[in-house]
């Protein structure tokens, strides 16, 4: 396999190999000299058709730490604006002797489509509301780091499940690693197919928090929202926002995660986001090692 298009295409052993490789790279990037020469001969293009802070910079840093040559492409400043197609765009970039493409795209399945039509290794950096595989890898890697293992842990994903690629990739990754998965949110933001994936559905946040070891709080994706789906922001925060009072009333300390960007005061209050229980910045830190591992392992297949 020379692509990472979704967690759906991985098995348990693939994830274990990625984590073992990430462990080694995490050690490397904490040294004074943070680079390895492994990918000196590889050129990688980062293609972002949608906005990003964490994923874009994390991939670029991971590539540079591996000594790859890197080019960055932002659709909003490109000839896509003049009508150039995705395949034409990528084939033109590949003709400059590029080996690997990291792509974020608003359309679900864009990575799968591209992998069928161009001759390069493709990494999905988020395709619409479909999958965000490296996010799920870094999330579950962070749970493993914090709690020692993922297997047997109760993990609730809270919020806008309907529009979330993070939710779907996390569900696949958590289940492959033996976690118990619950989703919690308003019924209007939970897709009907979710039960077929073998996850529990809970609409009461307090009950979900009492059950879980880890709560992964999602951002409400206003940019993908049909307004008729949505409770008002105030109603959402009242029923599904996490705050210190809710956490203080629980029998145990749970781990709080968020993929970012945070809507402070909507799905999570600042006193929770900035608390010791939150591992939000650890997730971001681990993203670099995870992406180094993914790129390194795929590069060996080119």
Q: How far is the CB of 81 from ligand CP (least distance, A)?
A: 21
Contact indicator for 180, 211 with CB cutoff of 8 Å? no
Measure the CA–CA gap between 292 and 44, rounded to whole angstroms: 12
Contact indicator for 181, 174 with CB cutoff of 8 Å? yes
Q: Does the annotation place 233 within a ligand binding site?
A: no
Measure the CA–CA gap between 291 and 205, rounded to whole angstroms: 32
User: Binder to ligand CP among 128, 191, 231, 260 (CB under 6 A)?
Assistant: 260
CB closer to ligand CP out of 103 and 180 = 103
Binding mask 95-134 for ligand CP (x = CB under 6 A): -------------------------------x--------
52 binding ligand CP? (CB under 6 A): yes
Q: Does the annotation place 291 within a ligand binding site?
A: no
Report CA torsion sign: 113, 87, 127, 180: positive
53 binding ligand CP? (CB under 6 A): yes
CB closer to ligand CP out of 54 and 224 = 54
55 binding ligand CP? (CB under 6 A): yes
Number of residues that bind ligand CP (CB under 6 A): 10
Measure the CA–CA gap between 183 and 205, rounded to whole angstroms: 10
CB under 6 A: which stretch of 36-44, 49-57, 227-235, 267-275 binds ligand CP?
49-57
224 binding ligand CP? (CB under 6 A): no
- Token pair listed for 5: 């298009």
Contact indicator for 46, 71 with CB cutoff of 8 Å? yes
Contact indicator for 128, 20 with CB cutoff of 8 Å? no
Bridge-based pairing of strands 214-217 and 255-257 is parallel
8 binding ligand CP? (CB under 6 A): no
Assess whether the previous peptide bond of 98 is cis (omega < 30° from 0).
Answer: no
- Token pair listed for 60: 């670029």
Q: Does the annotation place 144 within a ligand binding site?
A: no
The residues of the shown chain that bind ligand CP, judged by CB under 6 A, are 52-56, 126, 135, 259-261
Which parts are annotated binding residues for carbamoyl phosphate?
54-55, 104, 132, 135, 260-261
Which parts are annotated binding residues?
54-55, 82, 104, 132, 135, 165, 219, 260-261
């Amino acid at each position: 396999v020379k692509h990472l298009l979704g967690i759906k295409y991985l098995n348990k052993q693939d994830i274990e190999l990625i984590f073992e490789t990430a462990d080694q790279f995490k050690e490397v990037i904490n040294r004074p000299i943070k680079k390895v020469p492994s990918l000196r001969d590889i050129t990688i293009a980062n293609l972002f058709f949608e906005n990003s802070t964490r994923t874009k910079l994390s991939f670029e840093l991971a590539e540079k730490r591996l000594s790859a040559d890197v080019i960055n492409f932002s659709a909003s400043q490109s000839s896509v604006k003049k009508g150039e197609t995705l395949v034409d765009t990528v084939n033109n970039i590949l003709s400059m002797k590029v080996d690997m493409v990291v792509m974020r795209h608003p359309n679900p399945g864009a990575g799968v489509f591209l992998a069928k039509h161009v001759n390069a290794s493709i990494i999905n950096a988020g395709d619409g509301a479909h999958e965000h595989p490296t996010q799920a890898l870094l999330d579950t890697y962070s749970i493993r780091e914090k709690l020692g293992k993922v297997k047997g842990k109760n993990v609730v994903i809270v919020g806008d499940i309907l529009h979330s690629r993070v939710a779907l990739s996390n569900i696949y990754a958590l289940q492959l690693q033996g976690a118990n998965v619950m989703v919690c949110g308003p019924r209007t933001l939970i897709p009907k197919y979710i039960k077929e994936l073998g996850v529990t559905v809970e609409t009461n946040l307090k009950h979900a928090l009492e059950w879980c070891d880890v709560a992964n709080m999602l951002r409400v994706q206003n940019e993908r929202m049909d307004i008729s789906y949505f409770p008002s922001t105030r109603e959402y925060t009242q029923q599904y926002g996490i705050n210190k009072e809710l956490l203080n009333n629980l029998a145990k300390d749970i781990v709080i995660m968020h993929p970012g960007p945070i809507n402070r005061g909507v799905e999570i209050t600042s006193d929770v986001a900035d608390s010791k229980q939150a591992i939000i910045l650890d997730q971001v830190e681990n993203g670099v090692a995870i992406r180094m591992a993914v790129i390194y392992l795929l590069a060996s297949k080119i």
